[in-house]
Structure 1
Amino acid sequence: MRKWRCLWRPYLDEEHASKRLQWAYRYREFTPTDWARVFWSDECTVERGIGIQREWTFIRPRDQPRMNHCQGLPHRGLIPLFGDPISERGGVNRFVIEELYRRVLPTLLSTEDGIFMHDNAPTHTARVVREALDDMQIEVMIWPPHSPDLNPIENLWALLKAEIYKLRPDLMHMKNNEDTKQILVDTAQIAWENIDMEHLQHLSGTMPNRVQAIIDSNGWYTPY
């Protein structure tokens, strides 16, 4: 049986494409130096077993215990964010995000002409979070919906998960308990530090091409 890779793309409609195109024209004149001012953020779920490898379309993934979320800030480290036990989906709630922002962003942006990027997920746009950003006078980049292809950090998660598996291939066989969760968190931190800084800089340098790809596709899907 021939194997095919599953290509996942977020759903786009005319409104999404229009907003993506507006975003591209807004930042079309940004130079690599301008893009270097942006502090990118993103989240992924790090899981044990098959969840840390690529899956094929004809394999139904096994249910995996959700271990933690990680929020990445290039040059600054990986921050573990544990899910809310009373949340319906076990995700990170707006109060966790607010506390994280207040603790981390002032230091990141205090001495630099920085712009902060988040993906407009509900936890990032909740009133308490918006008020925190306003209080700290943080400049936030306007971000179009359904646009992971514009966030260079998206390209790092596969590297991170592969490095975790390389460092601790025994994780998939460990018991699902707090000790295993801590090992996973610690390994993720080490794996993040192992990612070459030049790779991060290269991804930031792809932004002019990503912007142009949006314009070329009239706001629709890009190769990224």
Structure 2
Amino acid sequence: MNGVILRWPVPIGTTINAQYNKKVLQDKLRPAIRKKRPGLLESGILFLHDNAPVHTARAVTDVLPVYKWELLEHPRYSPDLAPCDFHLFPEMKENLRGQRFETEEDIIQATKVAIKNLDKYSYVTAFKDWLQRIEKCANNGGCYVE
């Protein structure tokens, strides 16, 4: 709810698989949490992934308990329950609308600025919306219908 912890552009030509995802969790996300949210690693992490194979692979799910990160369940086939999909990406798109980019670096910098321009209230709203969507899904027998 306090904003983005890690913004990690995937290098061109990189295959996103379970091993890559595990490496990002270990080498990028964990240190970013330690730096940006001191004490959070010790107090416990609730971790939300969708059900994409790269997120549900054993290499990834086995490392989460090692770090004492609790994986929240995510209903199948419900991408509209991920705050990035229904909140962060649409807001970023709005900030980037109409711009043209010449290089990959231009895109990276523009997305960095777009993320920085999102205020804290925006994240609080996203998580309140997420809780309402999760509740709706639970009340609907595990199915989410918008």
> Does TM-score exceed 0.5, indicating one fold?
yes
User: Which structure has the highest helix share of the two?
Assistant: 2
Q: 1:128 aligns with which of 41, 59, 77?
A: 59
The Cα shift of 1:215 comes to 4.3
- Aligned-pair RMSD on alpha carbons? 2.5
Aligned counterparts of 1:205 and 1:132: Cα–Cα separation in 2: 28
Q: Which has the larger radius of gyration?
A: 1
Kindly provide the CA deviation profile for residues 31-66 of structure 1, in whole angstroms up to 9, marking residues without a partner as x: xxxxx6xxxxxxxxxxxxxxxxxxxxxxxxxxxxxx
Gaps of 5+ in 1: 1-35, 37-72, 86-90, 175-179
Cα 1:211–1:82 shift into 2, 3 Å: same
2:9 corresponds to which of 80, 85, 96 = 80
Q: In structure 2, what is the equivalent of residue 186 of structure 1? A: 109
Q: How does 1:22-61 map to 2 (within 5 A)?
A: none
State the match for 1:22 in structure 2: none
How many Å separate the matches in 1 of 2:74 and 2:64?
15
Change in Cα spacing, 1:100 to 1:111, as seen in structure 2 (3 Å) is: same
What is the one-letter code of the residue matched to 1:195? L
Tell me what 1:170 maps to: 100
Aligned residues of 1:149 and 1:222 also touching (Cα < 8 A):
no
Shift in CA distance, 123/208, structure 1 to aligned 2, threshold 3 Å: closer
Q: Which runs of 5+ in 2 are unaligned?
A: 34-39
Equivalence for 2:20: 96
Provide closer, same or farther for how the CA distance between residues 83 and 138 of structure 1 changes in structure 2, counting only shifts above 3 A.
Answer: farther
- Count of matched residue positions in the alignment of Structure 1 and Structure 2: 138
Q: TM-score, normalised by structure 1?
A: 0.53
What letter corresponds to residue 207 of structure 1 in structure 2?
W
Between 1 and 2, higher relative CO (CA 8 Å, sep ≥ 6) is seen in 1
1:158 corresponds, among 62, 79, 90, to 90
Residues 128 and 209 of structure 1: is their aligned pair in 2 closer, same or farther, counting only changes over 3 Å?
A: closer
Equivalent position of 1:17 in the other structure: none
